[in-house]
Amino acid sequence: MNKIIAFLFLVLGIAASAQDGYWQQDVQYRMAIDFNAEQHTFTGNQVLTYTNNSPDTLHRVFYHLYFNAFQPGSMMDVRSRTIADPDPRIADRINNLQPNEIGFHKIDKLTQDGKKVTFSVEGTVAEVQLAQPLLPGKSTTFEMKFNSQVPIQIRRSGRNNEEGIDYTMTQWYPKLAEYDRDGWHSEPYVSREFHGVFGTFEVEITINSKYTLAGTGVVQNPEEVGHGYAESAPTSEKTTWKFKAENVHDFAWAADPEYTHLNTTLTNGTELHFFHRNDSMINENWSRLVPFTEQLFNIMNDRFGAYPYQQFSVIQGGDGGMEYPMCTMISGTGSFGGLVSVAVHEAIHNWYYGVLASNEQKFPWMDEGFTTYAQNLVLDSLFKRNRLNPHQRSMQSYIGNALSVSEEPLSTGADYYETNRAYGSNAYSKGCVFLVQLSDIVGQETFDRAMISYFNQWKFKHPTPQDFKRVMEKAADMELDWYFDSWIGTTKTIDYGIHTVNSNGKKTTIEIERIGELAMPVELTVKSEKGTEFIYIPLEKMRGAKPAPEWLKDNWKQEADWPWAYPFYKVQLDIPLESIQSIQLNPFEKIADTNPKNNLFPSSNISFPPNE
Ligand SMILES: [Zn+2]
């Protein structure tokens, strides 16, 4: 090939695969932590090189100081006591913390390129006025000295939790807030969900040698730390653990003197590590968890994109389950089924949260809902259930909430829901149903392909719903704004029903009614003496149609488009009414039809006028 043409191909190829105008900030953290396990305090020296890849000049930056949430009177405390349906795990526990039980971060010194900066702290956020404006394309280095106290564990983070884990160190260091295409995100720590800047973390933790540590990244000095990373055992009173992680947006760790450390390596080379307390029941469940986790990674790599890091750690953190890059903190006790379920859910977050790092505060459903979708499929496969609809529980949970007064739009920010119930149902179930229905709209094979290209195009970035929509639209060659806008931005629901079934001699006419406000493509099966026929009615606004699934090709019939404003649609069948055994709308249950009673014929709910 001519060199100039080859060069043009190269340039055009790059242009076609990049996201127009996309940019994101970059952080390089180097932290040295000196930990005092008697006092539950630590000092930190944090050197942070920050690169401004935005087109804007920055005059200030923000740091999250998450531990400050665990103080009486904090936003988290007041919110957890005043929300309509308080989380019983928190309730008034923060309000009752004593001074030696609270959490805090205190900034002792902060400079920018050696110059002192001024800053103010409000609750869980520090606002820093830069000594020098940070111009587009430039880097600057902040150096911070801080001291912190680890709170009694209330939620996710802290010391001495119910299961007896000494330290679950999550949201544990002053963390730079993200500035992205959407502006600053200096969310105070009220309840849940995070957003961070991608980059590199080099973290050195000096702590009493009796502790085994587990966390984000790869241990750089296994021979010095021992504890299952290497045969050798440390001999000095304190050990310095050196962790390094690249292409991550957070760093978490945990420490306990009684961790049992198991590990295994997948055929593709990914190392899996497991850390749990030494107890006969826990030991048995956790050794059984190892092969399940191996299978989980193999399924996820095949179906949703290849896990890109060298290792992953499943850590008994002792409080529910929570995702962090390259690791998860989960409860260690309870049934084996529960353990697998939570480990699967949290590990999958490394795809939806860790690698595809959508802003969880704004779009909690893009990590919880997408994770729930994959979790339902993985659990179905791990436990060989082969259910027709592995998402049925998510569907039922969504419909239950959609028909209740607590329903709020999916576009609500994570901390801004009126009730914990609405958050839970929306983020997990409505977010999952969003994908189930989308797979039905574009067709399962197209959807599966698009999920992998979404992963590959957006990995190590912050995709928004719009970015996801464009990937799906291009894969399906369809318009999808009607679905994204209504499902995410409104509480409109779906209900189709069989209105009438009429006989016209040798033919039959089915009249379908759109009762719900949200229009969707419609599928129905007609069972007769001739066999089963699948009828598909695309929505006009899709400007396209999904292909017939391979296994249904011979019995598949596509009707004319349905323009959404029409409440009724007629389907003509070349089958006499008396030979029809049944008609069913939404036969695969992939659409969250809020009233399935009117989906069946014959049924007492359907009017069935005699032949006129
Ligand atoms: Zn989750």
Q: How far is the CA of 364 from the centre of ligand 1 (A)?
A: 9
Instruction: Read off the pLDDT band of 403 (50, 70, 90).
Output: very high
Task: Read off the pLDDT band of 262 (50, 70, 90).
Answer: very high
In the chain, what is the greatest distance between 2 CA atoms, to the nearest angstrom? Answer: 95
Mean pLDDT of 343-353: 98
Return the closest-CA partner of residue 380 out of 352, 340, 347, 353: 340
521 falls in which pLDDT band (50, 70, 90)?
very high
Distance in Å, CA 369 to ligand 1 centroid: 8
At 559, which CATH number? 2.60.40
Query: What is the pLDDT at residue 612?
Result: 33
Handedness of CA 79, 83, 87, 88 (dihedral sign): positive
Distance CA 111, CA 345 (A): 40
Name the band, by pLDDT with cuts 50, 70 and 90, for residue 319.
Answer: confident
The total domain count for the chain is 2
Domain end marker among 489, 515, 541: 489
The Cα–Cα gap between 270 and 133 comes to 42
Degrees (nearest 5) of the Cα angle 121, 124, 127? 40
- 513 and 437 together in one domain: no
Same domain, 393 and 482: yes
Q: Which residues contact 383 (CB under 8 A, 6 or more apart)?
A: none
The mean pLDDT of 539-552, rounded to a whole number, is 95
Cα–Cα distance for residue pair 360/462, rounded to 1 Å: 10
Going from the Cα of 322 to the center of ligand 1, the distance in angstroms, rounded, reads 7
Residue 244 belongs to some domain of the structure: no
Calculate helix-pair angle for 481-489, 465-476, nearest 10 degrees.
Answer: 150
Listed residue (436, 360, 371, 361) closest to 398, CA to CA: 436
User: How far, in Å, from the CA of 456 to the mean position of ligand 1?
Assistant: 21
Same domain, yes or no: 516 and 483: no
Strands 580-585, 522-528: pairing is antiparallel
**Does residue 509 sit in the same domain as residue 593?**
yes
- 567 with 502, same domain? yes
Q: Rounded CA gap, 118 and 109, in Å?
A: 10
549 plus 471 within the same structural domain: no
- Residue 592 falls within a domain, yes or no? yes
pLDDT tens digits, 356-386: 999 999 999 999 999 999 999 999 999 999 9
HEC secondary structure over 573-603: ECCCHHHEEEEEECCCCCCCECCHHHHEECC
167-224 confidence digits (pLDDT tens): 999 999 999 999 999 999 999 999 999 999 999 999 999 999 999 999 999 999 999 9
- Ligand 1 centroid from CA 375, angstroms: 10
> Is residue 494 within 8 Å of residue 516, measured between CB atoms?
yes
Whether 535 is covered by a domain: the verdict is yes
Are 530 and 458 in a shared domain?
no
Q: DSSP string of 208-230?
A: ETT-EEEESSEES-HHHH-TTSS
Task: Report the separation in Å between the CA atom of 279 and the middle of ligand 1, taken as the mean of its atom positions.
Answer: 27
Ligand 1: centre distance to CA 368 (Å): 5
Are residues 568 and 518 part of one domain?
yes
Q: Specify the DSSP element, H or E, that contains 381.
A: helix 364-382
Residues 203 and 33 sit within 8 Å (Cβ to Cβ)? yes
Residue 558 lies in a domain: yes
pLDDT band at residue 318 using 50, 70 and 90 as cut-offs: confident
Helix axes 280-304, 444-458, angle to 10 degrees: 100
CA of 231 to the centre of ligand 1 (A): 35
Structural domain including 456 reads 378-489
Q: Which of 436, 466, 489 is the last residue of a domain?
A: 489
Residue 388 lies in a domain: yes
Q: Find tokens 């001999």 and name the residue.
A: 235
Would you say residue 19 lies in a domain? no
Cα of 502 vs centre of ligand 1, distance in Å, is: 48
For residue 17, being part of any structural domain is answered with no
C-alpha 414 – ligand 1 centre gap (Å): 12
Residue 268 lies in a domain: no
Residues 6 or more apart whose Cβ sits within 8 Å of residue 127? 60, 62, 119, 120, 121, 186
First to last CA, the chain: 73
Same domain, 388 and 483: yes
> Same structural domain for residues 579 and 537?
yes
User: Are the beta carbons of 512 and 497 closer than 8 angstroms?
Assistant: yes
CA of 532 to the centre of ligand 1 (A): 40
Distance 327 CA to ligand 1 centre (A): 13
Residue 370 CA to ligand 1 center (angstroms) comes to 9
The reply to whether 534 and 457 lie within a common domain is: no
Compute the mean pLDDT over every residue in the chain, rounded to the nearest whole number: 94
Please give the structure tokens belonging to residue 558: 């596509």
> Dihedral through CA 520, CA 439, CA 474, CA 10, nearest 10?
170
Q: Tell me, in angstroms, the distance from the centre of ligand 1 to residue 510's CA.
A: 43
Residue finishing a domain among 489, 518, 552: 489
DSSP SS3 for 243? strand
**561 in the same domain as 533:** yes
**Residue 320: pLDDT band with limits 50, 70, 90:** confident
Instruction: Please give the torsion angle defined by the CA atoms of residues 117, 118, 122 and 127, in that order, rounded to the nearest 10 degrees.
Output: -50
